[in-house]
């Protein structure tokens, strides 16, 4: 988490860094790192089944009702993306404000997937291959299929009103591209070990 807090605090544009958690230990760690952690998230919107939108709404409501703070725009930085730096954050913010056509536009960070994505298959009820994409697309040469991207969970941006009403994924969602290395997303022990290795390597290069 400290890497994410540090990146947020170093951003040229972010003026308030808030950590939402249900753990007092994590809240103290966040405060020690320089972030604000003025509340603990209630149990009903915590845990593995908690929804992203509920945590955001709770944070916004708490800050409005208890700290008299209202925010025009929200930037969500998940701590499971430790390779994302303040440079990525600032580039994404600049890209968003340069490209958006209205305050209903949102932005998510993405990673490009290999052009072989069109050959994704799954099993049908009888155990045979079921193609995930239109077979006519599979007959195209790989270079003709175009690029596809997958959200990497590192950066989300949007106006407060838009996020509360519609979430981050709409028909007006911009995407900010990031590299494979910078998009490391920690879901497993292997992801964690790889992130540590890359962070150590990056520290030696500075």
pLDDT in tens, 117-136: 666 777 776 778 777 766 55
Position 141 scores a pLDDT of: 55
User: What is the C-alpha to C-alpha distance for residues 8 and 69, in angstroms, rounded to an integer?
Assistant: 18
Calculate the alpha carbon distances from 31 to 20, 58, 60, 73, 90 in Å: 11, 19, 18, 22, 23
pTM: 0.85
pLDDT 10s digits, 24-64: 999 999 999 999 999 999 988 887 777 888 899 999 999 99
Q: What pLDDT is stored for residue 143 in this prediction?
A: 55
In whole angstroms, what is the distance from residue 201 CA to residue 42 CA? 38
Instruction: Give the bridge partners for 149, in sequence order.
Output: 112
Largest Cα span, the chain? 59
What span, in angstroms and rounded, lies between the C-alpha atoms of 116 and 93? 31
Distances (CA, A) of 47 to 23, 51, 55: 10, 9, 11
Structural domains of the chain sorted by starting position, each given as residue range(s) with its CATH number in brackets: 2-112+151-205 (3.90.550.10), 114-147 (no CATH)
Q: What is the pLDDT of residue 145?
A: 62
**Quick check: 38 and 18 in contact, CB under 8 A?**
yes
**CA–CA dist 77, 7 (Å, integer):** 9
Please tell me the chain's helix, strand, coil percentages from 3-state DSSP, rounded to the nearest 5: 45, 15, 40
Would you tell me how many other CB atoms lie within 10 Å of the CB of residue 75? 20
Per-residue pLDDT of the chain (206 residues; tens, 9 = 90+): 788 999 999 999 999 999 999 999 999 999 999 999 999 999 888 877 778 888 999 999 999 999 999 999 999 999 889 889 999 999 999 999 999 999 899 999 999 887 776 667 777 767 787 777 665 555 555 556 667 889 999 999 999 999 988 889 999 999 999 998 888 877 778 877 777 777 777 776 66
**What's residue 36's pLDDT?**
95
User: What backbone torsions phi and psi does residue 185 show, to the nearest 5 degrees?
Assistant: -120, 120
Which pLDDT belongs to residue 118? 67
pLDDT of residue 128: 81
């Amino acid at each position: 988490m400290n890497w994410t807090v540090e990146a947020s605090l170093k951003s040229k544009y972010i003026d308030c860094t808030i950590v939402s958690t249900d753990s007092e230990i994590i809240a103290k760690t966040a405060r020690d790192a320089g972030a604000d952690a003025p509340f603990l998230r209630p149990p009903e919107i915590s845990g593995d089944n908690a929804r992203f939108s509920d945590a955001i709404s709770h944070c916004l409501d708490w800050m409005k009702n208890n700290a008299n703070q209202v925010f025009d725009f929200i930037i969500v930085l998940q701590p499971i993306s430790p390779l994302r730096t303040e440079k990525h954050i600032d580039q994404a913010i600049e890209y968003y404000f340069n490209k958006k056509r209205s305050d209903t536009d949102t932005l998510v960070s993405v990673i490009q997937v290999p052009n072989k994505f069109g050959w994704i298959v799954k099993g049908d009820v009888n155990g045979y291959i079921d193609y995930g994409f239109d077979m006519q697309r599979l007959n195209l040469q790989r270079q003709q299929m175009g690029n596809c991207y997958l959200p990497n969970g590192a950066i989300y941006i949007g106006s407060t009103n838009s996020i509360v009403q519609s979430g981050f994924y709409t028909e007006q969602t911009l995407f900010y591209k990031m590299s494979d290395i910078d998009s490391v997303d920690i879901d497993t022990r292997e992801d964690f070990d790889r992130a540590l290795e890359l962070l150590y390597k990056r520290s030696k290069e500075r």
